[in-house]
Structure 1
Amino acid sequence: MSPAVLAPAAAAPLNARIAFLVELARRLHQYGTSAPRLEMAVAGSAQRLGLVADVWSSPTAIIISFADLAEGEEALAKVTQVMRLAPGDVNLARLCEADDIADRAIAGELDLREGFHRLRELGRPDTRRAQAAVVGSYGLSAASVVALLLHSAWADLLAAGAIGLVIGLITVLSATRPRLAAASEAISALVATFVATLVSAYVVPLAVKSVVLAALIVLVPGMSLTTAVREISSQHLVSGVARMGGAVATLLKLTFGTVAASQVCAALGIEGGSYALPPLPAWTDYPALLLGAAAFALLFRAAWRDWPVVMGAVVLGYAATRWGGAISGAIPGAPFGVFLGGLLLGGLSNLYARFAHRPGAVIREPGIILLVPGSVGFRSVSYLFERDTTLGMDTGILLVTLLISLVAGLLFGDLLVSPRRSL
């Protein structure tokens, strides 16, 4: 949504305009929009509806004050709305729907009250089919990470995929169970480590740490860390620091779960196999990349029409990172490769939003999923829990370097191609 002149819908009653904007803000937050983009989108939409909106967004709350433009510069806020919300999660299909509803309602093609009700309907619970797709995406993501990034054995791939399905089931169940949700990350890490160790001890030897990392890869808050740094760099300090705190808390819960399971296994005398299986052949990188791209399209709940774009963005982000790492003489995923990937994806997402008239998040969010350094943060905290302070601090510095590189790439991408739309 881009700010423009006063829209036909500006003639609607004040309460209808405010109710529509509040519901729009609620949906954008629910579907994973960062604070800067949400505030810009709502403020721009309010201006077209003849209102001034002062928007404050954080990961768990939104505050909006509305004043009427018709009263001039001296107008004071007539309504202030405070919303307490749970942290959002990226849902590309519903984000695109919300964007389309907002554009049509503001342009006068859709009555504001009808637009409000359509936005409200987007908050419906996921169907069983959608939940099954999310569970499947966890398993596919884990399997693709083993093949694409960790280059482990076939047994590791199968074990990580199966454990990923279990983690996905726990995550789906926790969505409607608040008590389980609070500890779901720790429970998932405990289950993943315990099952991987059991399989390695009694079925087939596994690279246990690699399998556990792959199975938990979707829960590792790499996207949250990246968004937090972007918000802090754009002076949205409260939201950025709060999101950073939430990401660190998630890392601590994941690490505690893995350490606790390891200690239980050691106390029970369960030890993994001691010999290594042959790694996956090099040709598996290509099908694994396609598998991972499809898994992330499922994970981000992209609409079918957006699947080619989403999968292309994932492939492009990974290829740019590999190429950037190769030309810099470093390993794939090194800072320059991550910067290059962020630069390309940031610019392309703005181009896509400009010409396709759809949210650039369709390219930006899935495209950077293989670039975010969440696994590095997980390893850093794990080393600290194991009292390997030197290695933990060294990995932590690498985490900061990669985060800065990725955010710098995205910011330079916005400079390369200026965003015409907020989302």
Structure 2
Amino acid sequence: MISPLIAVAVLLAGSIVLIALRRRAERDIAVSARAALVTGETPVAPANQPDAAASLAAAEAVGSAMIQAGYTVETVQDVLSDIARVNGLPESEILVFPNAVLISARGGGQHQTGAVAGSGGQLLLSQVDELQRTADAARTGLLDPRSTVERIERIRQIAPAYGPVLRVLGYALLSGALSVLLGASWRGAALSAALGLVVGAALLVSERVPRRYGALLTVAIAFLVAVVVFALLRAGWGPGILAALLAPLVVLLPGVLLTTAVLELSMGHMISGAGRAAAGGMQLILLGAGIVTAGALVGVPSFDFHHEAQLLGPIAPWIAVAVFGVAISVHRSAPRRALGWILLVVYMAYAAQVLADLVVGGVLSAFVGALVVTPITALVARQPSGPAALVSFTPAFALLVPGALGLVSVADVLGGDSAGTSSLIATLSTMVAIALGVLAGSSLSNRMRRPAL
């Protein structure tokens, strides 16, 4: 009962901090809004003759960056519609896909149409943070179209805050910490960290590899990790190292894709939702192909994979959460000022999931975790030093998906056809639960509006 008691203490302490932060945020917003009226730092009205070409360029730049960052099409459409409106083009039509944006800028007798594809690669968390600030300024009229384009170009040039060696070490610590949360032994945690070094280095190399080779790299990484784990299992290392089969692959798990797909399908974006679901399903197939091929080559030991978690004492997982938060911040190059906020969010997410798991089980605990995390990240984003909501949500999400699926899905994949069906159902159920949790949490976030003047 020590871990649940710690979870209750974490949630209580976090709630006190968040309540204090919300009151301070409301006070600061009211003060800054009144000061803006006095100093004139308020959105200016658009010119009598709007510049459709400049506004279109700004919307294209922001839209391309946002879909690369992983925002839902609903969010991107809202931001681009606001940018068009504040620049005197309220009749504009915007169509967003997971990898492209189509914009028809119309208003004031002008009509400009453009399309832009999303750039490849994944944005750093520091880039996502600056992107959110730029989008907020552009959609409220505090940033003119030409300045918006210039800032997006500068954001794309932001270098990682940490060097490649630190980022690889961060991924190794991330893998080791996650394996502890999944019930690894000390040997399993060490193996996960060692495999994390290899996978982290491969991921950095893949940033310079053409995207057409991405599928081969995914299969190769999953195959390498599975071969090592299966070989050591056959050598008698015991089921305590089984977590090493999942922890080093956490970044390759398509949890974000599948959850976003469910969100977009529930909002009526059928094309985008179906496209993301297909991409996420393909990623699962690639990972499964690598693991199954390794099992066929090395052989899978004949012991029960549904073993009880071998936690390294009740305190170890809570230490691992801190290591995980710091490690993922270094690997994904989060802003340095965001580290404390990220730790607050991941601790709240893990505590909520621990308590929910005792009451409703693993899959529904993902719903509770997402429900708790979403309004917390929105509140954190309202703080003067707080990062964008997506920046603090990303590390917490990386805890929700593997923690909810655990090793059960991995065991199911290795168990045969009928077990594979159970694994598929568990995966889909978890994604739906997280998506519904995000939707419910978003409704709570929307209630935290700026106070009226």
- Normalised by the length of structure 1, the TM-score is 0.83
Letter paired with 2:338? D
Residues 1:342 and 2:370 are matched in the alignment:
yes
1:62 to 84, 101, 105: 101
Q: What secondary structure does 2:115 align onto?
A: strand
1:222 corresponds to: 255
1:222: how far off?
A: 1.3
1:395: how far off?
A: 2.8
Deviations 1:358-413 (A, max 9, x none): 632233333332222597399658745x5722222223222233222222222112
The answer (yes or no) to whether the contact 1:144–1:289 under 8 Å persists in 2 is: yes
1:203: how far off?
A: 9.6
Percent of pairs identical after alignment? 24
Alignment of 1:172-321 (within 5 A): 172-178=204-210, 179-200=212-233, 207=240, 209-266=242-299, 280-321=312-353
The answer (yes or no) to whether the contact 1:314–1:369 under 8 Å persists in 2 is: no
Between the aligned partners of 1:229 and 1:86, the Cα distance in structure 2 is 23
Deviations 1:211-235 (A, max 9, x none): 1111212211112111111111111
Change (3 A) 1:181 1:126: farther
Q: What secondary structure does 1:369 align onto?
A: helix
Number of aligned residue pairs = 401
Change (3 A) 1:18 1:31: same
Q: What secondary structure does 1:281 align onto?
A: coil
Please, which runs of 5 or more residues in structure 2 have no aligned partner? Answer: 1-41
Change (3 A) 1:378 1:334: closer
Letter paired with 1:13? D
- Normalised by the length of structure 2, the TM-score is 0.78
2:6 corresponds to: none
Alignment of 1:106-117 (within 5 A): 112-117=145-150
Alignment of 1:350-389 (within 5 A): 350-354=378-382, 356=384, 359-372=388-401, 376=405, 380=409, 383=412, 386=414, 388-389=416-417
Between the aligned partners of 1:31 and 1:208, the Cα distance in structure 2 is 34
Please, which runs of 5 or more residues in structure 1 have no aligned partner? Answer: none
Between the aligned partners of 2:311 and 2:418, the Cα distance in structure 1 is 29
1:162 corresponds to: 194
Residues 1:396 and 2:424 are matched in the alignment:
yes
Between the aligned partners of 2:279 and 2:50, the Cα distance in structure 1 is 40
* Greater mean alpha carbon deviation, residues 255-264 or residues 347-356: 347-356
* Greater mean alpha carbon deviation, residues 173-182 or residues 199-208: 199-208
Alignment of 1:79-158 (within 5 A): 79-86=112-119, 89=122, 91-104=124-137, 112-124=145-157, 126-127=159-160, 129-149=162-182, 151-158=183-190
The answer (yes or no) to whether the contact 1:59–1:86 under 8 Å persists in 2 is: no
1:199: how far off?
A: 4.6
Letter paired with 2:193? G
Between the aligned partners of 2:329 and 2:265, the Cα distance in structure 1 is 28
Letter paired with 1:31? A
1:408 corresponds to: 436
Letter paired with 2:204? V
1:256: how far off?
A: 0.7
Deviations 1:150-200 (A, max 9, x none): x22111101111101211111111121125323111011011122334455
Between the two structures, name the one with larger relative contact order (CA 8 Å, sep ≥ 6): 2
1:292: how far off?
A: 1.2
* Greater mean alpha carbon deviation, residues 354-363 or residues 301-310: 354-363
1:45 to 75, 78, 83: 83
Letter paired with 1:342? A
Between the aligned partners of 2:374 and 2:197, the Cα distance in structure 1 is 31
